[in-house]
Structure 1
Amino acid sequence: MIYLLLSVLASSLIFVIFKLFQRFEVNTMQAIVINYFIACLVGFFGFIKETDISLIPTKLWFPGTLILGALFILVFNLAAITTQRSGLSVVAVATKMSVAIPVIFGVVLYNESTGVLKVTGIILALIAVYLSSIKTREGIAIKTKNLIFPLLVFLGSGIIDTLIKYLETTYVAKDDVALFSTTIFAIAGTIGISILAVQATMGKLRITGKNILGGIILGIPNYFSIYFLVLALRSEGFESSTVFTINNVAIVLVSTLLGIVLFKEHLLRKNWIGIILAIISILLVANSLNF
C-alpha cells in the first residue's frame, strides 16, 4: 500500500507543477522533454547499480519500452491539442477515465476478481473522476470535429497503463524495475529531442532558463510516479484493477484538494460530490480485497 500512496503523491505533485507552468508561462513541450532526461538520470544514478547499458536492448521488455516512450510523447501532444481545442477539463476526464482500459484488461486477461463491492467502487470512481474534473456549470462541450483528440488521449493513456502492467507481469524481473522505468524515460526524452531539433531547424525553438528549471523540477516526481506504480503493481494481494482504480481516483482527489489549498481554487457543487464519491469508491475497492 505504501508504494501506491507514494505513486499517488508523486503524480499529484506533477499536477501542481503543471499548474505552476501555466502561472510562470513555462514552455510545456520543452519542460516535458527535459523532464524525461532528468527522470532518466534520477533512476540511473539513484537506483541502478553496476548495469551494463549495452545489454539493455537484449532485455525482453526493451521493445515494450520503445512503444511506451513513443506513447508518452504522442499522448502528451494529443493532450496539448485537446486542451487548446476543448479545454483542460476534457483532458482531465479523458486521461483519468482511461483507467477503464487497464481494469478491463486485468479482469479479462488475468481473471481478476469482480465482486459487487469492487465493481460498485470502480463505477463510482469513474463518476467521481468526471464530476471532480468539470470546472464549469455547463459541463463538457466538445465540437464533433474535435472529438477524435480526447478519444485518442483516452485510448493512449489506457494503453500506457495496460502495457506497463503487461510488461511488468510478463518480462520485468524484480531487479529490473528501476532500469525498466529509466529506459522508458530515456526513450521518451530521445524522441522529444528529435521533435525539438525539427522545431529548431524551423526557427521555432527558443530555450530559456525557466523552461530548463521547469523540466528539472518535473522530472523528479515524474520518475517516482512510474517507479512506485510498478512496485505497487508487484505488491502481493493487490490486483492491477484495484491498483489502477485507487491510483487514478486518488490522484484526482489529492490534486483537487491541493488546488484548493495551494491555488485557492473554488469548487462547484458537482466537484464536491465528486470528491465524496472518490472517497467512497476508494473505500469500496480497498475493502473488496478482504472479501
Structure 2
Amino acid sequence: MIMLSGAIACSVAVSVLLKLARRFQLQVAQSVLVNYVVASALVLYLLKPPFSDAPHLLEHWPLLAALGLLLPSVFLVMAAAVDRAGIARSDAAQRLSLVLPLLAAFLLFGETADAGKLLGLGLAILALLGLIHREEAATRLGKSGLLLLPAVWAGYGVIDICFKQMAKTGARFPVILLACFLLAGCFLALWLILRKTRWHLPSLAGGVLLGLFNFGNIYAYIRAHQDMPENPALVFTAMNIGVIVLGSLSGILLFRERLTRVNLAGILLAGLAIVLLIPV
C-alpha cells in the first residue's frame, strides 16, 4: 500500500505544482520540457530499458508519434485546466478519462458491455457534466475555460488508449516509454524554439520538481500493480478514487476552491462510476 499511496500523492502533487505556477510566475511549457528530461533520466536509472530492443522502435512509430505529440499537449491543457477550473474538477476529469479506453474496447476491440459497465459509463457522463457546471460568482472558468475539462478528459483518454497498446509490447515497454518521453521533450523544445522563447531559470528549476513527481506517479503505480498482482481492481479503484478525494481536499483546503453543489455531486458520481467501471 506504500507504493499505491505514493502514486496518489505524486499525482495530486503534480496538480498542486501546476496550480502554484501562476503564483510564482512560472512558464509552464518550460517546466514541462524539463519534466521530460528528468523523466527520461529516471527511466534510464530505474527501469533500465534494454537498448537491444531499440531497433524495433520503428515498428511502433505511429504510437510513438502520437504519444510524443499528445503527452506535452495534454499536459499543457491540464495545467490550464488546473489554473482555471481548479484541482478538484481537473483531477476528477482526468480520472474519468478511463471511459474512452472502455468505449474503445467495446466499439473497436469486440469486448462485451455488461449492465454494470453501461451504468458506469452513464454515470461518468453525468459526472463530467457536473464537473463543468459553473456559477459566475463561484468560478473563473469563463466561456473558453468551459472547454478545458472536456479537453482534459478526452486527451488523457486517448493517451490511456495509446499506453494500453504500448503495454502489449511486453519487455519492450521501458525502451518505448523512454522514446515517448524523449520525443515529447523534442517536440516541445522545437515548439518553444520556434516561438523564440526567452528561457526562464525558475521555470526550468520548477520542471525538475515536476518531473520527479510526474515520474514518481508512473513508477509507484506500476510498482503497486507488481506488489499486488492478485488485486489489480483494488489498485485501479484506489488510485482513481484516491486522486479524486485527495485532489478535492487539496483544492479546497490549500487554495480555497469553491465548488457548487452540482460540482460536488459530479465528484461523487465520478467515484461511483469508477467503481462500476473497474476491470473484474
Of residues 85, 92, 96, the one that matches 1:88 is 85
Deviation at 1:38, TM superposition (A): 0.7
Deviation at 1:271, TM superposition (A): 2.7
Deviation at 1:44, TM superposition (A): 0.9
Matches within 5 A, 1:157-172: 157-169=156-168, 172=169
1:270 maps to: 262
Provide the TM-score with structure 1 as the length reference.
0.73
Deviations 1:142-168, CA, capped at 9 Å, x for gaps? 36xx99887766544332221111222
What is the aligned residue count? 271
1:56 maps to: 54
Q: Could you say if the C-alpha distance between residues 113 and 283 of structure 1 is closer, same or farther in structure 2, counting changes exceeding 3 Å? A: same
8 Å CA contact 2:18, 2:79 repeated in 1: no
Deviation at 1:199, TM superposition (A): 3.0
Deviations 1:162-215, CA, capped at 9 Å, x for gaps? 11112222xx21x33333322211111111221222233xxx41322x212210
Deviates more, 1:106-115 or 1:149-158: 149-158
Amino acid at match of 2:45: F
1:61 partner SS? helix
1:206 maps to: 199
2:143 partner SS? coil
Deviation at 1:35, TM superposition (A): 0.6
2:209 maps to: 217
8 Å CA contact 1:177, 1:230 repeated in 2: no
Q: Could you say if the C-alpha distance between residues 25 and 75 of structure 1 is closer, same or farther in structure 2, counting changes exceeding 3 Å? A: same
Of residues 161, 174, 185, the one that matches 1:189 is 185
Q: Percentage identity across aligned positions? A: 25
Q: Could you say if the C-alpha distance between residues 285 and 94 of structure 1 is closer, same or farther in structure 2, counting changes exceeding 3 Å? A: closer
1:142 maps to: 143
8 Å CA contact 1:17, 1:218 repeated in 2: yes
8 Å CA contact 1:127, 1:274 repeated in 2: yes
Amino acid at match of 2:16: V
Q: Could you say if the C-alpha distance between residues 79 and 263 of structure 1 is closer, same or farther in structure 2, counting changes exceeding 3 Å? A: closer
Amino acid at match of 1:115: D
Amino acid at match of 1:207: H
8 Å CA contact 2:128, 2:150 repeated in 1: no
Deviation at 1:267, TM superposition (A): 2.8
What are the ranges of 5 or more consecutive residues in structure 2 without an aligned counterpart? none
Deviates more, 1:255-264 or 1:16-25: 255-264
8 Å CA contact 1:78, 1:152 repeated in 2: yes
Measure the CA separation in 2 of the matches of 1:3 and 1:110: 32
1:284 maps to: 276
Deviation at 1:23, TM superposition (A): 1.9
Q: Could you say if the C-alpha distance between residues 285 and 83 of structure 1 is closer, same or farther in structure 2, counting changes exceeding 3 Å? A: closer
Measure the CA separation in 2 of the matches of 1:119 and 1:236: 25
Measure the CA separation in 2 of the matches of 1:21 and 1:45: 28
Deviations 1:204-257, CA, capped at 9 Å, x for gaps? 41322x212210111122224445666789967758xx95x8866653343112
Q: Could you say if the C-alpha distance between residues 231 and 132 of structure 1 is closer, same or farther in structure 2, counting changes exceeding 3 Å? A: farther
Measure the CA separation in 2 of the matches of 1:106 and 1:275: 25
Measure the CA separation in 1 of the matches of 2:181 and 2:255: 29
Matches within 5 A, 1:98-113: 98-113=97-112
Amino acid at match of 1:168: A
Measure the CA separation in 2 of the matches of 1:253 and 1:128: 14
Q: Could you say if the C-alpha distance between residues 103 and 125 of structure 1 is closer, same or farther in structure 2, counting changes exceeding 3 Å? A: same
8 Å CA contact 1:94, 1:151 repeated in 2: yes
8 Å CA contact 1:181, 1:223 repeated in 2: no
1:47 maps to: 47
2:105 partner SS? helix
1:67 maps to: 66
Q: Could you say if the C-alpha distance between residues 78 and 19 of structure 1 is closer, same or farther in structure 2, counting changes exceeding 3 Å? A: closer
Q: Could you say if the C-alpha distance between residues 252 and 133 of structure 1 is closer, same or farther in structure 2, counting changes exceeding 3 Å? A: farther
1:125 maps to: 124
Q: Could you say if the C-alpha distance between residues 17 and 152 of structure 1 is closer, same or farther in structure 2, counting changes exceeding 3 Å? A: closer
Amino acid at match of 1:52: F
